Amino acid sequence: MKHFLDYLDPDEPMTDAAEATFFDSIAEGLHDRAVYDIIKRNCLDMHPTLITALLETLDDHDIELMEHCTDWFEIKVLKRRLLDGRVERARPKNVSHRLNYPIEEVLDDYVTRRKGKLIEAKRQLKKRFDGLDHDMQEKVMMAFMEHGSLTERNFVYDKLYGEDFWKDDYLPLVQEWWKTFQDGKMAKVVVKYCSREFILEHLEELEGRCNYATLCIRTGLEPKEEKLYPRTYLYVLKTVGGQMGFHQGRRMVLKHVREYLYEEGDGEPVCSIYDIPYVKRMMAYLGEMGMIEEIIALDAFDKRMRPVPRKEWGTAVIRAIEEEFEFPPHVYKDVK
């Protein structure tokens, strides 16, 4: 991500919040001017994270137009950073294949289990795999799956999971292998590449053997809160288009804040929820889900805790969160 200053145009005036002008006539062109009105009313006391989360709620038309609805430089900068972030996240990965000399004799030593050569053949096939042409890679893959142990099968699963080696032609093989082996690493391959119908058909076998968040995203199933960290839960729910209950968005962010303060409260003191890792991203997720009231409520909570002295802030915030929400007693991850 570029530095904040890289988004400033030297030819544009640096108008701050105190001197900013808001142009209602241009704002009339917004599809939904709720965010514009919030920013206009509260511009003197808004954290950049709050502004970014609110901007995330806008469609493409309104994001572009919002920059022209005010001369406040921070709106322009945050809007440009937001769009750059979206472009970066959407950038496709580069897929390539590398070639090397064929090693048919080594493969034959492995398949025929030639005495005195099997261990070295196995080592050479793994070591030189990435440099082989794709046809030979497929032969090695089939040999490992037909004659190899779990160690060799795991080697194949790792290759299949990456985009460099994968081809959709392998789908029938993967489905058949899953019925035969059901190895843990193969579950990741199944969830990544197989159809939604196949995954749902084998959901009971797959659950617990692969990444639960990925399983929900691939199937569109709404995640179970207790199975994910709060930040991951919000990301998955946003991705699958799930629905949140009343105050649930705020509850998930504050649950994350509470867990962080319990685990890291003895470290560098903080005095704002915006200083806690992942809070900014979680609020952006709420913004992408259009949850303006939840975002504003979180900012109100942060403002309410501002008068608390820095040394007492963490303890006071935990107490305030636990008075509002019922959470089970915290269990420390690392006993110090």
- Length, in residues, of the chain: 336
What pLDDT was estimated at residue 295?
95
**319: its two tokens:** 């107490």
Which residues lie below 8 Å from residue 178, measured CB to CB, with a gap of 6+?
186, 187, 190, 194, 202
Most confident of 7-11, 95-99, 300-304: 300-304
pLDDT of residue 100: 40
Tokens of 31: 């599809």
CA dist 76 and 124 (Å) reads: 56
Going by pLDDT thresholds of 50, 70 and 90, the confidence category of residue 265 is: confident
pLDDT over 90 (residue 102): no
Cα–Cα distance between 143 and 103 in angstroms, integer? 13
Amino acid at 169: D
Please report which helix (H) or strand (E) contains residue 134, including its range. Answer: helix 134-147
Token pair for residue 119? 């261990």
- Reported pTM: 0.70
Nearest partner of 114 among 149, 139, 147, 138, judged by Cα:
147
Work out the pLDDT band at 23, boundaries 50, 70, 90: very high
* DSSP-assigned states of every residue in 188-251: HHHHHHS-HHHHHHTHHHHTTTS-HHHHHHHHTPPPPGGGS-HHHHHHHHHHHT----TTHHHH
Lowest mean pLDDT among 11-15, 21-25, 48-52, 70-74: 11-15
- Mean of all residue pLDDT scores within the chain: 87
How do residues 78-99 score in pLDDT, each as one tens digit? 888 888 887 777 766 543 323 3
pLDDT tens digit sequence for 304-323 = 999 999 889 999 999 999 99
Name which residue leads in pLDDT, 114 or 37.
37
Domain assignments of the chain as residue spans, ordered by start = 4-90, 104-219, 230-324
pLDDT-derived band at 4 (thresholds 50, 70, 90) equals low
pLDDT reported for residue 207 = 86
Cα(4)–Cα(78) distance, rounded to whole angstroms? 9
Across 9-23, 63-77, 159-173, 207-221, least confident range: 9-23
